[in-house]
């Protein structure tokens, strides 16, 4: 993983969002008591396990457990606000691809949530008849 060779990471919020999406805790990847991404601390997770988590991530279905506020889709989308994939691709192709993967995962997850919500409402209306 090329990111392990980095000492400074421009656009760290992209990696931070990736970690949050994959279920990592804030304390694992951020400076203590903040929401600022800490590359030095997060490097321990830049390995095959991260790639495995990305490969097996399933945006569909109900999630078990409780989510922290920073792991919810609204926060993740806000954390990526302002990034342009095309501009990013000109300077850092790897980060652009990661950003593209995150946006796709978020979009698929949102569509699944909406579909399941609409299905529940349809069942409720059908039962009421």
pLDDT tens-digit series, residues 23-55: 999 999 999 999 999 988 998 998 899 999 999
Q: Range of 47's domain? A: 2-51+63-128
| 10-residue stretch averages of pLDDT, the chain, 129 residues long | 60 93 94 92 91 93 84 92 90 91 95 89 67
Whether 10 is in a domain gets the answer: yes
> What total number of domains does the chain contain?
1
Q: Which residue blocks in 36-84 are alpha helix, DSSP H?
A: 39-42, 48-56, 73-79
Three-state secondary-structure class, residue 37: strand
Whether 58 is in a domain gets the answer: no
């Amino acid at each position: 993983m090329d990111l392990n060779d980095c000492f400074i990471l421009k656009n760290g919020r992209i990696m931070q969002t990736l970690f949050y999406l994959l279920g990592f805790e804030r304390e694992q990847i951020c400076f203590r008591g903040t929401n600022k991404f800490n590359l030095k601390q997060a490097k321990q997770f830049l390995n095959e396990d991260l790639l495995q988590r990305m490969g097996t991530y399933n945006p569909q279905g109900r999630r078990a457990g409780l989510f922290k506020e920073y792991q919810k889709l609204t926060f993740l989308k806000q954390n990526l606000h302002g990034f342009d994939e095309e501009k990013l691709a000109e300077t850092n192709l790897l980060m652009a691809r990661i950003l593209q993967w995150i946006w796709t995962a978020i979009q698929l997850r949102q569509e699944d949530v909406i579909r399941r919500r609409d299905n529940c409402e349809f069942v409720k209306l059908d039962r009421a008849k």
